[in-house]
Amino acid sequence: MIDRYMPKDFEEIWSEENMFRTWLRVELEVCRVLAEKGWIPKESMEVIEKKAGFSVPRIKEIENVTHHDLIAFTTSVAEYVGPDSRFIHWGLTSTDVIDTARGLQLKQASEKILAAIDELQKAIKERALEHRKTLMMGRTHGVHAELTTFGLKLAVWYDEMKRNRDRMQRAAETVSVGKISGAVGTFAHLDPDVEAIVCERMGLKAAPASTQTLQRDRHAEYLCAISIVGSSLDKFATEIRHLQRTEVREAEEPFAAGQKGSSAMPHKRNPVKCEQISGLSRLLRGYAVTALENVALWHERDISHSSAERVILPDSTSVLCYMLRAMTKIVSKMVVYPERMLKNIELTRGLAYSGQLLLDLTRKGVLREDAYRWIQRCSMKVWDENKDFLQVLQEDPDITKILSRAEIQSVVNPQHQLRNVDAIFSRVFAS
């Protein structure tokens, strides 16, 4: 991932240096278990513990000849250790090391992603509670529908992020797995308890069954979970972008002192961070498709998944955490305009209460089809003749036969539509 979207802590997780360091940790853990079993002499194990190391430039130099990064790595380690290096990588295949190490890297990345989700949830909750009573127009198909509150809009986001956290937690557990089962997964040279002990010491679960590789349905599930979280962030960002449009202007992302919106138009305050999040979410969905393509490998393994994973695993985890942290800042500092929300409610001159009027008429014994026709007739006059909804209703002969002037007037009452908002908040924030 380019530096622009690579958090520093993820740069460390996915650096070549950390990858080789994690490979070495796997190799050493296997050696320790074998030494405990008496398969490696005590004196040799002491030398391995003392001398084991590697040189990244040397690994690259060797790989230019071998065209195999793991062999280049073990050769570099052998140069540090000397003759006792014959016990390193004993009974292993390359993917035992690579997949187990990657499981640890994914676990480390997942912990940071989950922490970032927690921070975003906290920010959303604070703003939702702040604006639980802030009236605004709800829109369906982009058209004014009925009243809602800005806090309720955010409560929906919060509830969605709870589900995202759950699915991300499950997916993280699915990929926090290792395997030390050999060339085709049969434990031909090492016993299964070696795998169990090594994985436990690394904080991973051992795969119940594997081939030369961990099965890539695990990674596909993980990337799909990441793409869903990213799509939720895209949804939130798209909503803010719509609310920031000049004609709406009910909320907008923060605009920092000294920030510039356009090279040509000094007046511009554009939702650039939200647009950035929407754009990056497209990458995550693309990575998920690639991960799904990686599930089907030939026989006990081929290497077609490897090149893709070198890109999609570091990139997807890094980008998602970048997006989560960016959205947290946006939500925390988002500017909200309650007065503009009230003005926008007034744009349709009371049409938002047509649904309540429909119910009031049916409660008085009017057939729903008749009531709907009467109200729609009045509503079209509001749209086409720019009249006030109450005025048109009070002039309609069918409606005034059923409802008194006071009853018609009482229709325009936000409490009809928002009387259960507190109940929704209690359910969403019960925990």
Catalytic residues: 141, 262
Alpha carbon of residue 232 to chain centroid = 7
- Dihedral angle, C-alpha 299, 303, 308, 313, nearest 10 °: 80
> Which residues sit opposite 206 in a β-bridge?
178
Say if CB 46 and CB 70 are below 8 A apart: no
Q: Per the structure block, which two tokens stand in for 177?
A: 């797995």
Sign for the pseudo-dihedral over CA of 201, 203, 208, 214: negative
Say if CB 189 and CB 135 are below 8 A apart: no
| 147: three-class secondary structure by DSSP | strand
Any long-range contacts for 358-366 (C-beta under 8 Å, 24+ apart)? 360/403, 360/407, 360/411, 361/399, 361/402, 361/403, 364/402, 364/403, 365/402, 366/402
- Give the chain's radius of gyration (CA, Å): 30
Tokens 């393509």 belong to residue: 293
Closest CA to 349 of 320, 312, 385, 387: 387
Instruction: Phi first, then psi: give them for residue 270, nearest 5 degrees.
Output: -95, 150
Say if CB 306 and CB 213 are below 8 A apart: no
Closest CA to 150 of 331, 406, 311, 271: 331
| 140: three-class secondary structure by DSSP | strand
Sign for the pseudo-dihedral over CA of 174, 179, 183, 185: negative
Q: What is the largest CA-CA distance in the chain?
A: 103
Over 319-346, what HEC string results?
Answer: HHHHHHHHHHHHHHHCEECHHHHHHHHH
